[in-house]
Amino acid sequence: MLDLSKIETGKLELDLQECSIESLVQEVVEALGPGAAQKNLSLIAHVDSTANVTARCDGNRLRQILVNFIGNAIKFTATGSVSVRAESVRHEGQRLRLRFSVSDTGIGIPADRQDRLFCPFTQADCSTARNYGGSGLGLSICKQLVELMQGEIGIHSQIGHGSTFWFEVPLEIVNVAASLTPPLSESPARSAKPIVSSHVLVAEDNRINQMFVTELLKYCGCTCEVASNGDEALAAIQRHDYDLVLMDCQMPDMDGFTAVREIRRREANGQLIGHRPIIALTAHALAGDREHCLAAGMDDYLAKPLEASQLRAMLTKFLSN
Ligand code: ADP
């Protein structure tokens, strides 16, 4: 109630601090784990490597929203599982838009009641308070908090099959370095071997993406340099013989398509020796993107946000012999 009145009177302010997204999700899941275990539900969390960052954000408020979502998911699920996911969906300037979602295999919510759940004192139907208790306030506070963070909140649900509650918020990223951990399914020693010590040029204008890609490359055992546009990439390639180039397609001044055409032209007329693998990085996985990249002279294509496993597979493909 206090939160709601503070929000409504414009008195609630976010307390921004540096916060690890993975720790935040783990803490909430650990706190609510016993409740799920009591009902024999499995509570699973997955923080995608693209969301494995330290961000400047109001960690307590993010936790509050997740606690509300996960608490409800446990409450309204009799058998099965509750899964929590954090991933990045896109860049917004120098901020990264993170998406958090909580899915359950519970009772679900009828389509005609879904929108209203985010209004104060609303429950899916009159019997809910009788059967499950609750005030119907939690989700409306979540919505207001998410809006205060300039984000969006929503739900997908099918009666009898379960619900997914999600929210997306743009966050300022402090770093991605400390938080990158090897995927459990891979043995870094074995799979990193062929590409260790390769020297890679990253042509990318977005600072967050630069951080991501360079950290991923370091994690794969490569060394790298960064160019912020096509002109810088050309100059760097003329100076140094890189083993591979990761080329963002959209960059200011000279874009990736123009740069790769120029590199291929110089390779053809002998200004540059040999053929260097150039992998396009594109913001959207649109149909036709791949063809467009290949036609311009790229050797392959990766869609952003990059996943460690996809990048590693690409490096192995082009650097392993
Ligand atoms: P409450 O305190 O009543 O749980 P909320 O605002 O958090 O308040 O939720 C409002 C209503 O939305 C709940 O009473 C329930 O009817 C519905 N609801 C929320 N989450 C779920 C879910 N995961 N599955 C089914 N119904 C849900």
Summarised one tens digit per residue, pLDDT across range 286-310 is 667 788 899 999 999 998 878 778 8
State pLDDT tens for residues 251-291: 988 999 999 999 999 999 999 999 999 999 987 666 677 88
Gap from CA of 276 to ligand 1 centroid (Å): 55
pLDDT for residue 187:
39
Task: Decide which of 135, 156, 188 is a domain's last residue.
Answer: 188
Q: Does 4 sit in the ligand 1 pocket, CB within 6 Å?
A: no
Instruction: Read off the tokens for 253.
Output: 């001044």
Say if residue 102 is in the same domain as residue 243.
no
More confidently predicted of 4 and 221: 221
Say if residue 164 is in the same domain as residue 233.
no
Q: Which has the minimum average pLDDT: 99-108, 148-157, 217-226, 228-237?
A: 217-226
Residue nearest to atom 19 of ligand 1 (CA): 72
pLDDT for residue 247:
96
Residue 49 falls inside a structural domain: yes
pLDDT for residue 130:
58
Say if residue 165 is in the same domain as residue 266.
no
Q: Does 106 sit in the ligand 1 pocket, CB within 6 Å?
A: yes
> What is the rounded average pLDDT of the residues 25-34?
95
State pLDDT tens for residues 94-112: 788 999 999 999 999 999 9
Residue nearest to atom 21 of ligand 1 (CA): 72
State pLDDT tens for residues 149-204: 999 999 999 999 999 999 999 999 887 754 444 443 443 434 434 566 789 999 99
Say if residue 235 is in the same domain as residue 296.
yes
pLDDT for residue 134:
61
Helix (H, G, I), strand (E, B) or coil at 158: strand
CATH code of the domain containing 34 = 3.30.565.10
Which is nearest to 298 in space by CA: 274, 264, 253? Answer: 264
Say if residue 121 is in the same domain as residue 205.
no
Say if residue 102 is in the same domain as residue 63.
yes
Task: Decide which of 188, 215, 234 is a domain's last residue.
Answer: 188
More confidently predicted of 226 and 95: 226
Say if residue 92 is in the same domain as residue 232.
no
pLDDT for residue 176:
75
Residue 19 falls inside a structural domain: yes
Residue 272 falls inside a structural domain: yes
Task: Decide which of 140, 167, 188 is a domain's last residue.
Answer: 188
Number of domains in the chain: 2
Say if residue 34 is in the same domain as residue 158.
yes
- Residue 27, class by beta-carbon neighbours within 10 Å (0-12 exposed, 13-18 middle, 19+ buried)? middle
Say if residue 245 is in the same domain as residue 310.
yes
Residue 119 falls inside a structural domain: yes
Gap from CA of 136 to ligand 1 centroid (Å): 7
State pLDDT tens for residues 69-87: 999 999 999 999 999 999 9
**CA atoms within 13 Å, Cβ hemisphere of 250:** 9
Residue 193 falls inside a structural domain: no
Gap from CA of 159 to ligand 1 centroid (Å): 13
Using 50, 70 and 90 to split pLDDT, how confident is the model at 22? very high
Residue 194 falls inside a structural domain: no
Would you state the torsion angle of the CA atoms of residues 303, 306, 308, 311, taken in this order, to the nearest 10 degrees? 40
Say if residue 95 is in the same domain as residue 163.
yes
pLDDT for residue 89:
86
**Interatomic CA distance for residues 236 and 232, integer angstroms:** 6
Say if residue 29 is in the same domain as residue 134.
yes
CATH code of the domain containing 278 = 3.40.50.2300
Domain containing residue 52: 2-188
Position in ligand 1 atom list of the atom nearest CA 162: 24
Helix (H, G, I), strand (E, B) or coil at 315: helix
Say if residue 96 is in the same domain as residue 173.
yes
Q: What are residue 101's DSSP bridge partners? A: 85, 166
Residue nearest to atom 20 of ligand 1 (CA): 72
Residues 6 or more apart in contact with residue 236 via CB below 8 angstroms: 201, 225, 227, 242
pTM of the predicted model as reported, rounded to 2 decimal places: 0.71
Q: Which has the minimum average pLDDT: 1-5, 52-56, 161-165?
A: 1-5
State pLDDT tens for residues 128-151: 655 665 666 789 999 999 999 999
Position in ligand 1 atom list of the atom nearest CA 77: 24
